[in-house]
Amino acid sequence: MTKPLNLTEKILLDHLVGGDRLPPAGEPITIRIDEAFTQDATGTMCMLQLEAMGVKRVKTFSVNFVDHSMMQVGFRNPDDHRYLESVSKKLGIVYSPPGTGICHFLNIENFVKPGTTGVGADSHTVNAGGMGALYFGAGGYDVALAMATGNYTLPMPKVVRVELVGSLRPGVMAMDVILKMLDTVGVKGGKGIIFEYGGPGAATLTLNERATITNMGAEMGATTSIFPSDEQTLKYLESRRRPDDYRPLAADDGAGYADVIEIDLSSLQPSIAIYPSPGNVEPIAEHVGEKIDQVCVGSCTNSSFFNIASFAEMLRGKRVAVETLLYPGSRAVELQLAEAGYLTSLLYSGVRVMESGCGACIGQGGSPPSKGVSLRTFNRNFPKRSGTPDAQVHLVSPMVAAASALTGRITLPEQQVEIREVPQVDDMAAFVYPPDQAEAETVEVVRGPNIMALPDFDPLPGRIEAEVLLKLGDDISTDDIQPAGVYLPLRSNVKEYAMQATFRPVDETFSERAVAVRDAGGMGAIVGGENYGQGSSREHAALCPRWLGIRTVIVKQFARIHVANLVNFGIVPLTFADPADYDRIAQGDHIAIDVSDLEGDLVLEVNGERIPLQPAFEAKDIPVLKAGGALPYFKQTHRG
Ligand code: MIC
Ligand code: SF4
């Protein structure tokens, strides 16, 4: 009898490149990728790299979505959009114009199919796991490579089963399930893990509810999460008029898992993730009555028709007591809300109905006032991400958001809501499909003045002699390293983005200090604690520090996507062999590391002491690091 397989193993085996066995956890695995995509904030850099690789046409189905940077204050955003549209046509990529919707939401509505694989230049690509597909977030270079080759390599994850039993009580939503997971596992507890949901409770959750849960797997640092493909999946695909994309998929009985977590859905209560971390989960009941200044509903986590209709139904005939902003997941959802009469009732309730897109989630407008408290149905509440340095953001479900918007205080949703169902809407006409190759060759790629050519990076020297330019604590997010918000229009301009934004939330003097050291012929190093680089997949959090002369980052532990980005830009990622050695280094220290043999023991010399280090890179990364990064390595190995 063949060994029973879990769902992850089935899909990985089905997509394995080379061999017929899965490697042990932690070893690299290369799989075939059915879809690769970007969003505009990562897409321009990904496309510049794809062009620099000399790629004429992508090998896998690919999409460039525009959803993050859409304020169009000045020429930078619209120039980026025009570049993305023209380069998409040239390289054979589908283009999703601004206003169509949020990448992950559109992806699941229109493109993701059960049993497939995908990689996207955004950490919440894992949202697609709700469809029974294995999708991974990655840096722009890795997505460019997937587009160019059709393959993606990642460390083989462990698979943990999440057994769901029972069903959600009224007033409790999918958001409360993932907050329970975050409470159980923590913000770094998912590292190296795929969470495979199943059990009788899973069968009670709709596809959109499942996607809310897989979406925030990113906040646990998980490689990805997945649900089975079953009746709920079929129901959803039928409602999207895509029944032919359905295929049933589940783990075999008796399949093996590294661990099992059990959650009884009926025992859950409405919860809240208290500022400044998605991992600070507490029962709402402990915060009832606290004053709030703003409510925001939407984001790739909670912007389905069901979510917004539940929110709208609770508000119907009443008026919000605080500023309330709504960002629907897609234009199709907006149209459906209009058909059901909810758009009208929301407007009567005083809700500011914004364009569908990331909006306030990525600090593109909708900032709370100074010292304000904002209640959001989003997935991240990292410091300063909202754009207001001293504001606090807490994360909640759409029903808690509705109850609280009506009172101006944190409020428990009590009523049962019945929503008005109307058929889903098709907005496929919004997508721009690329022409055939012959016509594509005649397309001119349009570059505005803000789109800077990619910088050239030199190979790794034999010895890193660097000044520790920053010493940081635990849980430094990519929003701390390379903030988005008002800086988003600089994503195509490495120099400006690095000079204006790198590490600005933690130290405003960083960029000037780093450039001074670099221009004097020196190198820079960063020292940090646990879970360094958590959050977004933005490769700028490696690219900009590299441009500023950083050659190594030494921490207690890295987040998965960020460490891959550091390698891709030739920054040597290292961890302390003994985390206690973190205390032996101070900001301003001069350190030296012999990196001539990256396979050997690595030792950090500081203040006459020798501190043993461990590589956070894999053996396959060594030639990449030596070449100075992935693009120089690609060019070396693909010459002629
Ligand atoms: C985010 O939620 O932080 C983002 C903005 O979507 C990022 C991508 C980016 O920085 O462009 C992500 O999650 O990867
Ligand atoms: Fe957009 Fe926010 Fe989702 Fe990131 S988390 S993709 S910014 S909606």
pLDDT in tens, 306-325: 999 999 999 999 999 999 99
C-alpha 219/C-alpha 199 separation (Å) is: 23
Ligand 2 contacts CB of residue 361 (under 6 A): yes
Ligand 1 contacts CB of residue 536 (under 6 A): yes
Compute the half-sphere exposure of residue 263: CA atoms within 13 Å on the CB side of its CA.
26
Give the pTM.
0.98
Task: Using the mean position of ligand 1's atoms as its centre, give its distance from the Cα of residue 537 in Å.
Answer: 6
Alpha-carbon dihedral sign for residues 7, 235, 266, 305 = positive
Pocket test for ligand 2, best of 108, 175, 358 (most atoms within 8 A of CB): 358
C-alpha 550/C-alpha 591 separation (Å) is: 13
Mean pLDDT in the chain? 97
Instruction: Tell me if the bond preceding 276 is cis, omega within 30° of 0.
Output: yes
* Length reported for the chain: 640
**Of the candidates 155, 142, 265, 144, which has an alpha carbon nearest to the alpha carbon of residue 213?**
265
Pocket test for ligand 1, best of 386, 538, 544 (most atoms within 8 A of CB): 538
Question: Residue 432: is its pLDDT beyond 60?
Answer: yes
Task: Using the mean position of ligand 1's atoms as its centre, give its distance from the Cα of residue 53 in Å.
Answer: 24
Q: Which residue owns the Cα nearest ligand 1 atom 4?
A: 536
Distances (CA, A) of 591 to 479, 526, 547, 577: 27, 11, 20, 16
pLDDT in tens, 52-107: 999 999 999 999 999 999 999 999 999 999 999 999 999 999 999 999 999 999 99
pLDDT in tens, 323-371: 999 999 999 999 999 999 999 999 999 999 999 999 999 999 999 999 9
The residue type of 435 is P
In degrees and rounded to multiples of 5, residue 144 shows phi and psi of -60, -45
Which ligand has the shortest distance to the CA of 65? 2
Domains of the chain from N-terminus onward: 7-267 (3.30.499.10), 271-407 (3.30.499.10), 463-637 (3.20.19.10)
Which is more confidently placed, 326 or 640? 326
DSSP 139-170: -HHHHHHHHHHSEEEEEPPEEEEEEEES-PPT
Which ligand has the shortest distance to the CA of 364? 2
C-alpha 494/C-alpha 453 separation (Å) is: 9
Q: Could you give the strand order of the β-sheet that contains 35-39, starting from the edge strand earlier in sequence? A: 94-96, 61-65, 35-39, 117-120, 134-137
> Which pair of structure tokens corresponds to residue 332?
């199709």
Distances (CA, A) of 127 to 14, 78, 226, 475, 571: 21, 27, 9, 22, 29
Question: Residue 17: is its pLDDT beyond 80?
Answer: yes
> Which pair of structure tokens corresponds to residue 12?
């990985």
Element (H, E) at 232: helix 231-239
Find the mean pLDDT for residues 419-438. Answer: 96
Q: Which residue owns the Cα nearest ligand 1 atom 10?
A: 538
Instruction: Kindly give the pairing relationship between strand 523-527 and strand 463-471.
Output: parallel
**Of the candidates 58, 142, 132, which has an alpha carbon nearest to the alpha carbon of residue 95?**
58
Which ligand has the shortest distance to the CA of 218? 1
Find out whether 573 and 567 touch, Cβ atoms under 8 Å. yes
Question: Residue 465: is its pLDDT beyond 60?
Answer: yes
Task: Quickly tell me which residue has 């959750």 as its tokens.
Answer: 205
Ligand 2 contacts CB of residue 358 (under 6 A): yes
Question: Residue 186: is its pLDDT beyond 80?
Answer: yes
Find the mean pLDDT for residues 574-583. Answer: 98
